[in-house]
Structure 1
Amino acid sequence: MKETTDNYFYIPQIKRRNQKAAIFKYLTIFAIIFSISFLLFFLVDIVRAGYPAFMQTKVKIEVQITEDMIENPYGAVNGKQLKIVSRAWLRDLPLLIKANPAWMNTKQEFWALANSEVDQYLKGKESRTSERDRNFVDELKKEGKIELQFNGRFLTEGDSKIPENSGIYSAIVGSLMTMIVTISIAFPIGVMTAIYLEEFAPENKFTHIIEVNINNLAAIPSILFGLLGLAIFINFFGVPRSSPLVGGITLALMSLPVIIVSSKAALKSVPASIRQAGFGLGLTKWQIVRDHVLPVAMPGILTGSIISIARAIGETAPLIIVGMIAFVPDAATSFTDSATVLPAQIFTWAGMPEKAYLERTAAAIIVLLALLLSLNAVAIYLRKKFERKW
């Protein structure tokens, strides 16, 4: 009788637990589906807005090359063409003529860059072109003298005040140079600090305070690191403002806490038996760490470091503080030259009034996302490649 009574109370409890487990399961599935849906919506919207920037309107025109065009390139086109051809292309025409002296006094055919308003009209977007210019563009389209072509300038030119002539080349170069500085400083210092704290530092109150402060630094807003870079590196040490050097050092400081924490976790995950076996063979502490512990922990160290660097690539706030938001049309040639980076370029274009900059903003975001996804893929590959099964 007692057993029957116990089962009577026990069965409803099992049912309630199963119901709660099922509800929790469905909630987690819903959360995953919601997150994936939001991510897909974001990616689709960004691609939809950004892919037109990889195409640019070109106009086919015939030009009678004369010496006067070197001084007055605007005479190369007639009144109707002048309203649809980009000022950037007309500005570069004298350089093109000088580079090809055999063209003098001959008629040449060019695919000229169209201005941004004509480009927006041909892409079916809002445009400020007049009705007369639209009719002229429609005529050229019927004749096959105006069309959308791959926009190579977007990847080979720097920033420009002329929307159709702007590109991300200088920002990509600036980002790469900044990341070189960041990795060169943050990775060796972060890994060596983690090795000391985890393997060699004595267990006392001082090291505990250091570890607590490192963990706290990982949660500090990134803009504070920008203020530190401005106050210390620029104002005190005189590092050139807006340069990849000052930007890289600032991002290295921001990345250090994450690299140290992830490296310590990777070192801590190494089985203690490896250390004990090394001591049993008469190896020194340094030999054990260098030849056995560090190789085993390297996949985790690389993963944490790459993810930290990927986060630094997408940072804007600290770089704005150190001046890397400046208008930089030409790519930097040294680590002390003025430069900009992709996040800062995106921030600048997002505030521009011309519609053509909006699609370039989305296109630059696509490039930045591709770079971040590539770095994360590299982190996963390295982790799988060097991971050791126990």
Structure 2
Amino acid sequence: MTDRSAVDTIRGYFYQFDLSILSVLKLASLDDSIEIECTEDIDIRTATDITATQCKYFAKTEYNHSVIKDAVKHMVSHFKESLTGTKPKVSYSIKGHYASGQEKLDCDIDVDFLKKHFLTFSEGKGTTKVTRYHHTELGLSDADLGEFLKRFTIDIRAKEFDEQYREILGAIQSIFKSTPFSAEYFYYNNALAVIRDLSIKVTPMDRTITKKEFLERINTSTILFNEWFVEKKGKKEHLAALRKEYFTEFNVSPHERFFLVEVQADSYMRSDLKDIFFELSKKWAKLSSREPSPFCPYIHVHGIPDDELLALKRELSAEGFKLIDGHDFQAADFSHQSITQQATHGNGIKIKILNTLSNVEQTLNWITKTRRIYQFHFGNSYFDYDKPAVKHVKIQVAQLSDVKSII
């Protein structure tokens, strides 16, 4: 597969996932549901009806009847089984986006049109060429095909990729009363993960979700590192958008900022973590003698062994990078009064290290000034501090270097 065709294929997958998301968002009742890749790509189930929808996205291809012929034949086969009672009675829908050729279907599809363009096909070549009639082989009469057409709708002028995406984000903003950023990076990101997860389940029951359950599952406070979302946005753009939203301030206010950073033993390098310490101090500390309210950030490193944290502190101190950790002398208990002492130009404190999550919580509880928590995690988040007065941003990352790119 060429790079261009691979990109087109990936966009086709995203288009189908997005149509699934849009379909569930548009359900009239919270109890209505969609089924992913059951009878067709998407089955929409309401209290009174089931609609099996197949999705086609060919942004660079001209529409021809042959492009959807197999899909129509499959639907007619299912219709035949519904007549015999072996399959449920459903409605059928095809949605497609094409570069051109839509005028070829600017007519009413009657039984003769259905048979000629969608149900008649050839096999073999030359003298062995045989014309076959799908409806005849299924034993369907013209009356039966007329009944099928009552259940069948087709839209080959479906929305373009970006247009459909904008419609999804608009629907999300309306439902959750969210900002454009939250609609995309929280709700849509989570929605994409939910649909992807459903699509790989084995049984139809496990690939079914109601609108109520869907909205509950995407309404989380964590920005997930969903590889499908990152693939769609591009990793560089993804990290840049997070930096712009949370870590770009023209005039940095003297808030108490807590950065919680996770490390993993199999990929940990001290130099990477040191770079984050230096970057945090450079950007989020103000220690000038002219600063009326000097300050510096707090940091907790989650998952780091005690001996490695101690070695890191020694190395930073030896390099003249002054830090405190709330322990005033050997074997002293942690003191929130000590850790919250003001960093100034005179004392040169560049960063405040919180050794444990308990230290983090104690310090947060002690401080009365404006507080901000920025938690970076690989798997599940590891710290909860749900107080309305404290902004708590949770960002899932793929590797430690992503943190530096974001902050």
When normalised by structure 1's length, the TM-score is 0.25
TM-score, normalised by the number of residues in structure 2: 0.24
Q: Which has the higher helix share?
A: 1
Q: Which has the higher strand share?
A: 2
